[in-house]
Structure 1
Amino acid sequence: MIEASTTQVWIIILAMAAGTFLIRFAFLGFVGDRPLPGWALRLLRYTPVAVLPAVVAPMLLGAKAETDPLRLFCAAVTIIIGVWTRNVLWAILTGLGLFFGLGAVLG
């Protein structure tokens, strides 16, 4: 295992913060005051749809592939609510409420 001093850790944190800022500023700072072309706006519409499954999938399947029936059930209900209402917020709130509610009841 590699040991790092406190100074090295802070240098890494500050470098990553600067890199993240520059990546975001490149898009928002340089292009933020001009309208984007239509093809870029069409592509950006799919960003939440692509990011949400990438965030949720590891929580469902996990790196160790331990599937939990409660998580799978709540994910299925969330998908059904999302398709039925066509509202991402209602789907997320329903899934979270169901997960924490059933988790508290079932233990």
Structure 2
Amino acid sequence: MSGIDTATLWTVIIGLGLGSFALRFAFIGIVGSRKMPEWLMRHLRYTAVSIIPALVAPLVVWPAPTGGEPSLIHLIAACTTLAVGYFTKNVFAAMGSGALLLVGYISLFG
């Protein structure tokens, strides 16, 4: 590792570990035995649905293989994945079709 001394590295690792523990303990240890309000449970249902697009969108709009330039191949694969997922309501079919289309287009068009 260049540029980071051992003390700084361990300080960051321990700090992140304590922060992660505190965040989990807040929900499991403190709130775990109490009933959560209905409005909060309704909002928490959408957490998983919002994480995947937030992780995938930057990779589609600014793909690393093109140096961050938008790529028509990536956009077509993403739109196909979205359409297959919308019409079939099957996550695996959507991911599989998008992956196959992306690999196929990249192998055909580079």
Identity %: 38
TM-score (norm 2): 0.76
Equivalent residue for 1:30? 30
Counterparts of 2:104 and 2:31, CA distance in 1: 44
Structure 1 residue aligned with 2:93, among 71, 85, 90? 90
Counterparts of 2:83 and 2:33, CA distance in 1: 39
What residue ranges of structure 1 are gaps of 5+ in the alignment?
Answer: none
TM-score (norm 1): 0.78
Shift of residue 50, structure 1, vs aligned partner:
1.8
Shift of residue 65, structure 1, vs aligned partner:
4.6
What are the superposed Cα offsets for residues 5-30 of structure 1, whole Å, 9 maximum, x if unpaired?
12211211221122122112211222
Tell me: CA distance 1:37–1:69, structure 2 relative to 1, closer, same or farther (3 Å).
Answer: same
Q: Does 1:76 align with 2:95?
A: no
**One-letter code aligned to 1:17:** G
**One-letter code aligned to 1:51:** I
* Number of aligned residues: 104
Equivalent residue for 2:57? 57
CA RMSD of aligned residues (A): 2.3
Moved >4 Å (runs of 4+): none
Equivalent residue for 1:12? 12
Shift of residue 57, structure 1, vs aligned partner:
1.2
Higher relative contact order, structure no. (Cα contacts within 8 Å, ≥ 6 residues apart): 1
